[in-house]
Amino acid sequence: MTDDLTNSDSSAPISGIHASVLLERTLELLAPALGRPGAVLVDCTLGLGGHSEAFLEAFPELHLVGLDRDPNALELAGRRLERFSARTDLVHCVYDEIDDALDGLGIDEVDGVLFDLGVSSMQLDRVERGFSYSQDAPLDMRMDDTAELTAAQIIASYPEAELRRIFRDYGEEKLADRYARFIVQARDETPILRSGQLVDILQTATPAKLMNAGHPAKRVFQALRIEVNAELSVLERALPKAIDALAVGGRIVVLSFQSLEDRIVKRELQRRSVSTAPAGLPVELPEHRPELKLLVRGAELAGDEERARNPRAIPVRMRAAERLRRVA
């Protein structure tokens, strides 16, 4: 999720700079489903509205439902999309609540769904949000700053075994055991409240021979962010709901920025894109036919030009599918 605004102060005029990853390709993939009159697109990760703005401009009859857990993003996106206000509904919720959001709007089915996962530029670039290990800030990492759990609370209260688990499972960190042990030892002496403190602890814990193998805080910060925002469990709940909301002929596009997300997306799309007919059945019954048709081979990457222009496009993995039939 990589929309940038030249001025994110809510009292100042906004001038948008599009840095939305794979924007043209996303438009291309969703276009066949969104060109029909009365089409509805759900942008499950509205962010600052870069993708949504492009879709509303491209499809004059499109209705947009934009979801975001970050109230600050919703406010800024609302200003950006103000000229389309008659065709937009913006909802403050986590995207696994897509079914409730649509029910609340009286929408039975939709024609397109977009997930642009990860952290938005606004969240990354605002130091006080605590997502970055490169600048000292409070250990926060909440995508929704009205939520309760922060990274500082995790560091202060999780047992060593739990810290080790999230570093290993969510950060794929080989030094998870060592980092968890050093953190617990350090917090016994003084509270760890800021990102700079945590970075110092991780650097101290990293063996000298591994110091050139990437920043030691990168995977730990990813793991903490995922835990704070329950990102993987939310995605696991959201994807089936989003697919179920699609009309026949509707399409879904998902942009993932780390392997754990992409595995969840791959598993769900592949599961619904194969026949469920028992082995040896001579005729495939309608209820066994695939629900989805995959629209790209594997996970599609950003091209060299986009990766050079926008470094945040480097890790993106895109998957897309079309709804073939409804399940009885």
- How far apart, in Å, are the Cα atoms of 17 and each of 168, 178, 254? 36, 42, 22
At 73-108, the pLDDT tens digits run 999 999 999 999 999 999 999 999 999 999 999 999
Q: Vertex 167, ends 186 and 46: CA angle to 5°?
A: 115
- Strand 16-17 and strand 317-323: the pairing is unpaired
Single-letter code of the amino acid located at 18: H
Domain boundaries, the chain: 4-122+231-323, 132-229
Q: What is the structure's pLDDT at 3?
A: 45
At 58-67, the pLDDT tens digits run 999 999 999 9
Where do runs of H (alpha helix) occur along 158-282? 160-171, 176-187, 195-205, 218-229, 231-245, 259-272
Residues making up the binding site for S-adenosyl-L-methionine: 49-51, 68, 95, 116, 123
Q: Which residue has the higher pLDDT, 312 or 270?
A: 270
At 182-225, the pLDDT tens digits run 999 999 999 999 999 999 999 999 998 887 778 889 999 999 99
Q: What is the structure's pLDDT at 128?
A: 65
Residues in the chain: 328
* Cα–Cα dist 229/226, whole Å: 5
3-state secondary structure of 64: strand
Residues making up the binding site: 49-51, 68, 95, 116, 123
CATH of 132-229, one of 1.20.1530.20, 1.10.150.170, 3.90.550.10, 1.10.3720.10: 1.10.150.170
Q: What 8-state DSSP symbol labels residue 47?
A: T
Shortest CA distance to 294 belongs to which of 258, 324, 255, 260? 324
Q: Which CATH fold topology does 4-122+231-323 show?
A: Rossmann fold (3.40.50)
Single-letter code of the amino acid located at 16: G
At 147-178, the pLDDT tens digits run 999 999 999 999 999 999 999 999 999 999 99
Contact yes or no for 169/191 (Cβ under 8 A): no
Instruction: Please check the confidence at residue 256 and state whether its pLDDT lies above 80.
Output: yes
What DSSP letter does each residue of 82-137 carry, written as one string? GGGGGGEEEEES-GGGHHHHHHHHT---EEEEEEE-S--HHHHH-GGG---SSS--
